[in-house]
């Protein structure tokens, strides 16, 4: 097994998946017109426990996929603040008709 996650994170994933399965049982019981709220509350507990364990996982490193877009957005925002006066004036002129 080539998984680098600690055991707590894997247990958290297990509880979240089990909570999702129990929630699906709740939905199916509702469709069958025999609503079992025990499934709903059990799913909330399992998902809560799973989240508690999963929150210890470190965030993934940035992939750099959108660096070009971010650079473009930075240029657009920095250019907007400099002189000119074209920004919001055209909208104001339309509203004054």
Which residues in 37-64 are b (16+ Cβ under 10 Å) and which e?
Answer: eebbebbeebbebbeebbeeeeeeeeee
- In the chain, where are the structural domains located? 1-54
Res 42: pLDDT: 96
pLDDT tens-digit profile of 55-89?
878 777 878 888 888 888 888 888 765 555 555 55
């Amino acid at each position: 097994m080539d998984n680098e996650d600690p055991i707590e994170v894997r247990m958290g994933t297990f509880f979240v998946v089990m909570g999702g399965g129990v929630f699906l049982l709740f939905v199916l019981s509702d469709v069958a017109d025999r609503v079992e709220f025990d499934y709903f509350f059990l799913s909330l507990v399992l998902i809560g426990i799973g989240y508690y364990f999963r929150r210890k996982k470190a965030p993934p490193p940035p992939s750099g996929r959108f660096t070009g877009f971010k650079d473009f957005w930075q240029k657009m925002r920095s250019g907007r603040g400099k002189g000119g006066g074209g920004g919001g004036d055209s909208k104001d002129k339309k509203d004054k008709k």
